[in-house]
Chains A and B, each alone.
Chain A
Amino acid sequence: MITLKLLQSMYLFVIVAGAVALVILFYLRYLTNRAFKVQLRMVDANKACNYDIALFLPRVNDLVKVAEIQEIFYEISYGESTLSKPGSEKRRTITRKIARPDYSIDLGIVPISPRGYKRYIYMIIFETLFLLIEMDILMKIKVANEALLNFSKLQTFLLHDVKNVTQFIKGFIYNIERISGPEREHRFIEYLKESVPALTVRTDKILSTLEIGVEKDEEGDEQEVDVASLIKDLFALYDIKGEATGRGTIITQKHKMVTIFDNIIKNIREKSGREPGIESFAFVREETGAITVIIYDTGSPIKNIERMFEPFYTTKESGLGIGLFQARHITKKLGGNMTVANTNRGVEFTVSLPRGIISDNAEAPKAVVYAN
């Protein structure tokens, strides 16, 4: 009896308490939704700014105002950059500092109401913002370090070739001033003839390295290139035990063909340094309007072969990792394709190229002897 009476008197109280709890729940849900929306907007804004905090941070202030944050302030340093926005002289601030060898972040916020449940809302935003800033900086540092490393590798690679060409010129000038007698003159010319193919390969290599990524339409200078003969010459130039069979010609600028096959064959040469005695074979097949060239070596398979055409990917300590990238880039620009695979007989490159159209100014194939 007493219990029933008690329930009757509390009935109204339970309804009111339930209604209040529901209102609070809905309000909290509203606040949480708003916080998540702000989080998403910050992520989107960061993406829209291309993960550049210098662009992103000025946009944050407006975004966070709806999430119980009155103001943000910061002092951020990374690399040679410093971003700073001093905070106002308010007492109630929340700050967080981090100092690493490559960067430092000092981030602070001024909450609208620092106490109570709202604290959870602005702390979620604060932590998200801090994380985004740190990720952007780390990304920037990584990209910058990689770019610097690749630039330095590129510089070393180019310097080696440029220094040799400059030294060649110095030698040439010294010798030309001192040649005396027909016998020495004759020998000088013989040496120059020997030097021309190697010099052409080197200068083409310098130019094509400098032109990586530079899109340009070259016209003219096309000639009919005998691919098997070119491969034979490159085998001889690099002192590789190799055989090139089949027939196939292509109408294009010769230096492009030299760059494509030079990079493949140089790869084999480097491998033969580690694995003496390996042999190389090349087959050239002419089909309607196209040629297919298969080059393989009898050496061991290559790990991560699928990454071989990736720019700056190299397995060699002294490698630059652009040779094969460059070779495939040129092949594709010519409308062809290049693949590489570990097969039963060895590491196999397949190059397919359209034969090209013979223009009026195309030259006949030239016999060139490469010597090492």
Chain B
Amino acid sequence: METILLIEDDVALRAQVRFALEERFEVKEAANVQKAVHILNSERITLAILDLGLPPHENTPQEGLRLLHYILENFGLKVIIFTGQKTESAALESIKSGAFDYLVKPVSIEQLMFSVDRAILFRDTEEKLSRQGTARISFGVEVGKGLQPARDEAEKNIIFKVLKDTNFNVYKSAKLLGVKRESLYYFIKKFGFKREDIDDNP
């Protein structure tokens, strides 16, 4: 069964969303960043629904965005933003960071359920493709700046992912990437990858 982490500071609203989700999923809940981090590190969470306006700054998205970055960098989960923050910058920042969806309150619970189902479908498909050797790597580039920066960004992301998957084993990574070890050392130097960086981003 999927385990969803519902991060929402409003007790009443959280109880209603929890009740709706509980019919199909196991639900863990957190009212603030500290509790969410604790649950993420102690439970096997498969998807997160995140309110951006969290204490102590309920009226700004800063706490939620901080938590979003933490989840994406450390757990790679699909995160659905479920927030009252209708600011363009918060939406842009969330999507740019890699949030799966951005739902502005109030939305129908059907819409939230639909988003949850799509997130699970995407995650499953990506996992399936990954098992077949196809990894989904997303990266942002400024189109107007030509192909070279996009190529560099793509190379950087692919190499980073492979190094991470092989636990910084250069021999295995070079083999997987189909390049000579010398070439891989060149890229490691070029992009400034260090073993600590890989370890910090499991």
Give A contacts to B, CB under 8 Å: 156-157, 159-160, 163-164, 166-172, 174-175, 178, 184, 187-188, 191-192, 194-199, 202, 237, 239, 269-270, 273-274, 316-320, 371-372
Contacts and interface: CB of A to CB of B under 8 A. Distances in A.
B59 to A, nearest CB: 4
> Which applies to chain A's interface (DSSP): helix, strand, loop or mixed?
helix
B26 interface: no
B128 to A, nearest CB: 31
Contacts of A170: 106-109
Interface stretch (B7-15, B36-44, B138-146, B186-194): B7-15
Find the residue from B20, B23, B53, B58 having the highest chain A CB count within 10 A: B58
Contact of B55 (A159, A168, A188, A270): A270
A193 to B, nearest CB: 9
Max chain A Cβ within 10 angstroms of own Cβ: one of B11, B20, B22, B106: B11
Given A157-B59, A170-B108, A171-B16, 15 more contacts: A159-B84, A163-B84, A164-B13, A168-B12, A168-B16, A170-B106, A174-B16, A175-B109, A184-B23, A187-B19, A192-B15, A316-B57, A318-B60, A319-B59, A372-B31
Interface of B: 10-13, 15-20, 22-23, 31-32, 53, 55-60, 62, 84, 105-110
A168 B9 CA distance: 12
A199 B14 CA distance: 11
5 A-B pairs with the lowest CB-CB distances in the bound complex, closest first: A171-B16, A273-B56, A195-B12, A198-B11, A163-B84
A188 B22 CA distance: 11
B56 A270 contact: yes
A191 B105 contact: no
Contact of B10 (A191, A198, A319): A198
B11 A174 contact: no
B11 A269 contact: no
A320 B59 contact: yes
Nearest to B55: A273
Contact of B57 (A159, A164, A174, A318): A318
Contacts of A167: 13, 16, 84, 105-107
B84 to A, nearest CB: 4
Given A167-B106, A274-B56, A174 B13 contact: no
Contacts of B109: 170-171, 174-175
B13 A168 contact: yes
Contacts of A157: 59
Contacts of A192: 15
Contacts of B108: 170, 174
A316 B23 CA distance: 40
A372 B11 contact: yes
A178 B23 contact: yes
A286 to B, nearest CB: 31
A160 B55 contact: no
B59 A318 contact: yes
